[in-house]
Structure 1
Amino acid sequence: MEQSAQGSTSTGTPAGPGGDGRAVRVPAQSRAGFGEGADRERCGPTGDARGEHTHSEIPIPRPRPVVQRASVRGQILDALRTALVAGELRPGEVYSAPVLGDRFGVSATPVREAMQQLALEGAVEVVPNRGFRVIVRGTRELAELAEVRALIEVPVMLRLARTVPAERWAELRPLAEASMCAAASGCPVTYAEADRVFHRSMLALSGNEQLAGIAEDLHRRSQWPLVGGAVSRGRADLVADATEHVALLEALTVRDLDGVRALVRGHFAGAA
Structure 2
Amino acid sequence: MEQVRAWDVVGPYASAGTPPDVRVPEQARGEHTHSEPAAPRTVRRHSVRGQILDALRSALVDGELTPGEVYSAPALGTRFGVSATPVREAMQQLAVEGAVEVVPNRGFRVSERGPRELAELAEVRALIEVPVMLRLARTVPAGSWYALRPLADATVAAAAVGDRAGYAESDRAFHRAVLELSGNAQLVQVADDLHRRSQWALSTSTAGRRAELLADASEHTALLDALIARDLTAVQSLVREHFNGADV
Q: Is the 8 A contact 2:156 2:214 kept in 1?
A: yes
Q: Is the 8 A contact 1:4 1:103 kept in 2?
A: no
Alpha-carbon distance in 1 for matches of 2:93, 2:67: 17
Alpha-carbon distance in 2 for matches of 1:214, 1:253: 25
Q: Which residue of 2 aligns with 1:170?
A: 146
Shift of 1:192: 1.2
Q: Which residue of 2 aligns with 1:132?
A: 108
Q: Is the 8 A contact 2:226 2:235 kept in 1?
A: yes
Q: 1:185 to 1:246 in 2, by over 3 A?
A: same
Q: Is the 8 A contact 2:28 2:76 kept in 1?
A: no
Q: Which residue of 1 aligns with 2:200?
A: 224
Q: How does 1:48-197 map to 2 (within 5 A)?
A: 71-197=47-173
Aligned residue pairs, count: 214
| Corresponding residue SS for 1:234 | helix
Shift of 1:239: 1.1
Deviation readout 1:168-188 (Å, 9 max, x if unpaired): 001111111121111111121
Question: Is residue 210 of structure 2 the alignment partner of residue 235 of structure 1?
Answer: yes
Q: 1:219 to 1:10 in 2, by over 3 A?
A: farther
Q: 1:127 to 1:155 in 2, by over 3 A?
A: same
Residue identity over aligned pairs, in percent, reads 69
Runs of 4+ in 1 over 4 A off after TM superposition: 4-7, 9-12, 230-233
Identify unmatched segments of 5+ residues in structure 2: 1-26, 32-36
Alpha-carbon distance in 2 for matches of 1:254, 1:115: 44
Max radius of gyration: which structure? 1
Q: Which residue of 1 aligns with 2:29?
A: 3
Deviation readout 1:193-225 (Å, 9 max, x if unpaired): 111111111111111111111111111111113
Q: Given the two structures, how large is their TM-score scaled by the length of structure 2?
A: 0.80
Shift of 1:13: 3.8
Q: Is the 8 A contact 2:172 2:192 kept in 1?
A: yes
| Corresponding residue SS for 1:106 | coil
Q: Which residue of 2 aligns with 1:57?
A: none
Q: Given the two structures, how large is their TM-score scaled by the length of structure 1?
A: 0.73
Shift of 1:10: 8.7
